[in-house]
Structure 1
Amino acid sequence: MTANWYNIQDIDKLDTPALVVYPDRVKTNITTLTGMIDDAARLRPHVKTYKNAEVTGLLLDAGVRKFKCATIAEAELLAMSKAPDVLLAYQPEGPKLHRFIRLIHAYPQTHFSCLVDNAASAKEISDAAVRFKTNIDVYLDLNVGMNRTGIAPGFEALQLYMDCGVLPGISPVGLHAYDGHIHDIDLQKRADRCNFGFDPVLKLQQTIKSKGYPEPVIVAGGSPTFPIHAKRKYVECSPGTFVYWDKGYQVEMPEQDFLPSALVVTRVISLPGPTKLCLDVGHKSISAENELSKRIYFLNAPELYPVSQSEEHLVVEAGANHQYNVGDVFYGIPHHICPTVALYERVYTIENENISGEWLNQARDRKITI
């Protein structure tokens, strides 16, 4: 890879701020992913990072057949792309449950499943499935340390799994254990924490099997713990960020060889002082949930550091006697790519250093057709 791999020769055609994607690097990342696991059948990547049909197609071409998502729109995008197996990694409730069932009926060629973590929701899903004459496979959502959803692996989880087994309209088929709270830079520390949280999941799986149920499938992890779960036999792994990668994971997960393949391009629009530049990349253009210093990093201007940001503007310090002018272009790696993608209705693809097309981020919407 060349040092200036990101350069766009026809940059004058691109209004900013813009999200650009380099398809060749995306393909390389997919090849890297499949090379890190013994069988592509154990991959269940999360669509939340990229939200478009084109990357879904590249994953299908690479032999991926199972996917994970968090919204009905993401699930429908996958179904529209003819993904065979889609896990809604969310517990559908109320109107979302009704939309989920409509999705099941609308796309019979795709097998859908969802999460459950309590008896009341299991009963609601069961009642809706019976009412609308379908059967829904459910995965028990386990809390292995994220402390946002899920039931702790143990006796109550076993009882809930067994309760789901007798409810009409639903079938318990597996366990979902997302450990996205584990971000240690040191891989061994990350592995130790991952294994500590995963041991009760394995114990629950075998206890369920001992009760006469088919061995539950385990869907585990995200990008940080992917190298660890990938070594476990028969565990499905669900990384997502790998397709585009970002600065945050590039720093935190140095053992993973994925390439940044999505950038936010921005221009200097004003010179508010002798040492400062104002860029057209505000809160609406880059994920802003982290502190100001952890939002965007400029490949062709690494010395710049941010001093303030608002909805449409970012002010950066360039130092005395800088040579930058209004109109200069910067190529920025987002610190967190997933919510950054959700800010853009489309990405511009860059091939051979030129704009080659557009990919619509259809699933950034809350609704496609259902």
Structure 2
Amino acid sequence: MEWYKIDNIDHIDSPALAVYPSRIANNISLVKEMAGGVEKLRPHVKTTKTAEVCQMMLQEGISKFKCATIAEAEMLGTIQAPDVLLAYQPVGPKARRFVALIKAYPSTRFSCLIDHVESALQLDYICRAHHIQLDVFIDINVGMNRTGLKPAHISPLLDVLESCTTLQLKGIHAYDGHIHDKEFAQRKLAADNCYLLAKKAQDTIVQRLGHPILMVIGGTPTFPIHLLREEVECSPGTFAFWDWGYQHLLKELHFQYAAVLISRVISLIDKNHVCVDLGHKSVAAENPLPRVHFLNVPTAQPVAQSEEHLVLQISEHTLSIGDILYGIPVHICPTVALYDVAHVVVDQNKTQEWAIVARKRIINI
């Protein structure tokens, strides 16, 4: 039987997300092997949003994590993850929530990004009011062009940080998520250029402070390149579950699919078309069709999708109403966030459910 098929599938309503712990464990082992241990790893939890998967990483010795939301940070706090970087600049109510989170989970050392003088002053004010010290990382723009400072523009922020009594500059953060070259040589060249920009900022800060600081750099496409550098931490996220997009873009990586979408045929349109229950609300919809590829019906071609429906073209199909289709999304990260639970599959049977707890914007704080 194919690895993804579930014997007691009748106990799972569709659409649904299924995860396979043995394959997740293999992916964690592989990323550790690639990194030569855990010291350079700071996995991003935006993909899994699941405490149980993060606990699997903790059990393998991974102690540093990255996240993007207060809920993801709180999920990590609930399992007492030692070191959590909020890769986001908290402003307004989010800054107050972040300080409340720090006080609520003292076993976890939290840090966050900053890229603006005003943000630094606001965080310092809130931290002073609550009598806490906060580690911060300066966000460096290395080409993503959504947040961060260009290396030449960091001096005013350094000036302000020197006057802040509660903020401790821990390092810099450089995310190169704009790099998606299929050819490894081109990807490496782009990653090397991003690293040189980040290194320029790091050197400027070190010269000013007189002591070393950390560099957190790279996502899934570039982390194997950055792992070869000294004194960096890398933040792959997709590796835990993997997806169709990276499987076919990053051919030099050998992670396994560990999360599958469950769908059923709900209508037989004609001899060449069927409709399944996998609409926009069930699979990440930011990419053009196809957004999902079916393992057990590889010739199925998505031709139309709406909120709860996906029309597939399959020449001379033999499918029946209620037949199961097992799909791999092109982009797993936002797909996971569409589900309340993941159905856990062990030995080809659903055994339990894991809450996708950090799909929420608020857990407790």
TM-score in same-fold range (> 0.5): yes
1:254 deviation in Å?
A: 0.7
Per-residue CA distance 1:278-306 (angstroms, 9 max, x = gap): 0000011101110022x100001010101
Per-residue CA distance 1:218-244 (angstroms, 9 max, x = gap): 000110001101111210000100000
Q: Which residue of 2 aligns with 1:205?
A: 202
Q: Tell me, what secondary structure is at the counterpart of 1:48?
A: coil
Task: Work out whether 1:119 is the aligned partner of 2:114.
Answer: no
TM-score (norm 2): 0.98
Query: Which of 46, 49, 55 in structure 2 is aligned with 1:48?
Result: 46
CA distance in 2, matches of 1:277, 1:304: 9
1:159 deviation in Å?
A: 3.5
Residues 153, 201 of structure 1: 8 Å contact kept: yes
Query: Which of 348, 361, 368 in structure 1 is aligned with 2:363?
Result: 368
Q: Percent identity?
A: 48
Q: Which residue of 1 aligns with 2:310?
A: 314
Query: Which of 199, 211, 220 in structure 1 is aligned with 2:217?
Result: 220
1:202 deviation in Å?
A: 1.0
1:204 deviation in Å?
A: 2.0
Query: Which of 244, 256, 277 in structure 2 is aligned with 1:247?
Result: 244
CA distance in 2, matches of 1:67, 1:121: 23
Q: Which residue of 1 aligns with 2:134?
A: 136
CA distance in 1, matches of 2:240, 2:268: 36
CA distance in 2, matches of 1:329, 1:61: 34
Q: How many correspondences in the alignment?
A: 365
Query: Which of 343, 348, 351 in structure 2 is aligned with 1:348?
Result: 343
Residues 165, 172 of structure 1: 8 Å contact kept: no
Per-residue CA distance 1:150-204 (angstroms, 9 max, x = gap): 11112x2133134213212111110000000101111111010011111021122
1:46 deviation in Å?
A: 0.6
Distance 1:69 1:214, change over 3 A: same
Task: Work out whether 1:301 is the aligned partner of 2:297.
Answer: yes
Bigger drift between 204-213 and 72-81 goes to 204-213
Task: Give, as a single letter, the amino acid of the residue that structure 1 aligns with 2:320.
Answer: N
Query: Which of 187, 191, 194 in structure 1 is aligned with 2:188?
Result: 191
Residues 117, 156 of structure 2: 8 Å contact kept: no
- Unaligned stretches of 5+ in structure 2? none
Residues 75, 358 of structure 2: 8 Å contact kept: yes
Q: Which residue of 2 aligns with 1:326?
A: 321
- Unaligned stretches of 5+ in structure 1? none
CA distance in 1, matches of 2:31, 2:176: 19
Residues 18, 343 of structure 2: 8 Å contact kept: yes
Residues 299, 331 of structure 1: 8 Å contact kept: yes
1:207 deviation in Å?
A: 2.3
CA distance in 1, matches of 2:197, 2:60: 33
Residues 46, 68 of structure 1: 8 Å contact kept: yes
Residues 121, 160 of structure 2: 8 Å contact kept: no
Task: Give, as a single letter, the amino acid of the residue that structure 2 aligns with 1:190.
Answer: R
Task: Work out whether 1:285 is the aligned partner of 2:275.
Answer: no
Q: Tell me, what secondary structure is at the counterpart of 2:233?
A: strand
Q: Which runs of 4+ in 1 moved over 3 A?
A: none
1:216 deviation in Å?
A: 1.5
Task: Give, as a single letter, the amino acid of the residue that structure 2 aligns with 1:352.
Answer: D
Q: Which residue of 1 aligns with 2:98?
A: 100
Q: Tell me, what secondary structure is at the counterpart of 2:209?
A: coil
CA distance in 2, matches of 1:110, 1:34: 22
1:205 deviation in Å?
A: 1.3
